[in-house]
Chains A and B, each alone.
Chain A
Amino acid sequence: QKEVEQDPGPLSVPEGAIVSLNCTYSNSAFQYFMWYRQYSRKGPELLMYTYSSGNKEDGRFTAQVDKSSKYISLFIRDSQPSDSATYLCAMSRRDDKIIFGKGTRLHILP
């Protein structure tokens, strides 16, 4: 079983819809959880960074961590065509390297 599983997509949704992106993981020792957005020909850009379980909101983005289920989510409200990108989930233990998912390609249809 891979440490981090992420559906590669592509995921296509109409503009204005709520997008749900998810990752599962196997290592219960992970404490730090991240979401990065990567546009074509660009590097990953940090979107959300959370510690342990719970929710974190930043504008149209909400990150959710459920450690009991080993499941993390990123919700995008009022999705825009500019949100079309690849979204990478990532996680780590304290003072350890980051483990990334393979990324989900998202297309927002105008």
Chain B
Amino acid sequence: SAVISQKPSRDICQRGTSLTIQCQVDSQVTMMFWYRQQPGQSLTLIATANQGSEATYESGFVIDKFPISRPNLTFSTLTVSNMSPEDSSIYLCSVLEGYGNQPQHFGDGTRLSIL
């Protein structure tokens, strides 16, 4: 399966600042997704990153807070804007390699702490 690299692997940020997380895949993939994993909670889908167009956001997540880019078939970014302590979480990128109903594969995530 594709090798997925996320940067940074972890960061500690100040309240009110923004952080951009990168997801790089070593081969072209059909779909890319961004998830949030909070302690004791299920993995939650934030949005689907669409190549060349606006991302598709899940209920409870908005573009102003989590802007996403996907300029090509191997790269995407997620920005967490105007951060507050409630944004402290693990953010994960996942990809779908083929078409039809295929399983998703995940990167190792970005561990984000907001002071």
Does A associate with B in a complex? yes
* Contact pattern, A 63-88, Cβ under 8 Å of B = 1, otherwise 0: 00000000000000000000000001
CB-contacts of A95-109 with B (<8 A): 95, 97-103
Tell me the smallest distance from the CB of A32 to a CB of chain B, in Å.
Answer: 6
Residue A18, interface by CB 8 Å: no
Interface residues of A, count at CB 8 A = 26
Q: Are B45 and A97 in contact (CB under 8 A)?
A: yes
A4 to B43, CA, bound (A): 12
A4 to B104, CA, bound (A): 18
Number of chain B interface residues as a range = 10 to 19
Q: Are B108 and A100 in contact (CB under 8 A)?
A: no
Q: Are B40 and A102 in contact (CB under 8 A)?
A: yes
Q: Are A41 and B45 in contact (CB under 8 A)?
A: no
* Contact pattern, A 37-72, Cβ under 8 Å of B = 1, otherwise 0: 000011111100101000000000000000000000
Tell me the smallest distance from the CB of B16 to a CB of chain A, in Å.
Answer: 27
Chain B residues within 8 Å of A, Cβ to Cβ = 1, 4, 40-43, 45, 58, 92, 101, 103-109, 111
- Given A32-B103, A101-B42, A102-B40, list of 5 further CB < 8 A pairs? A31-B101, A44-B106, A95-B101, A98-B45, A100-B42
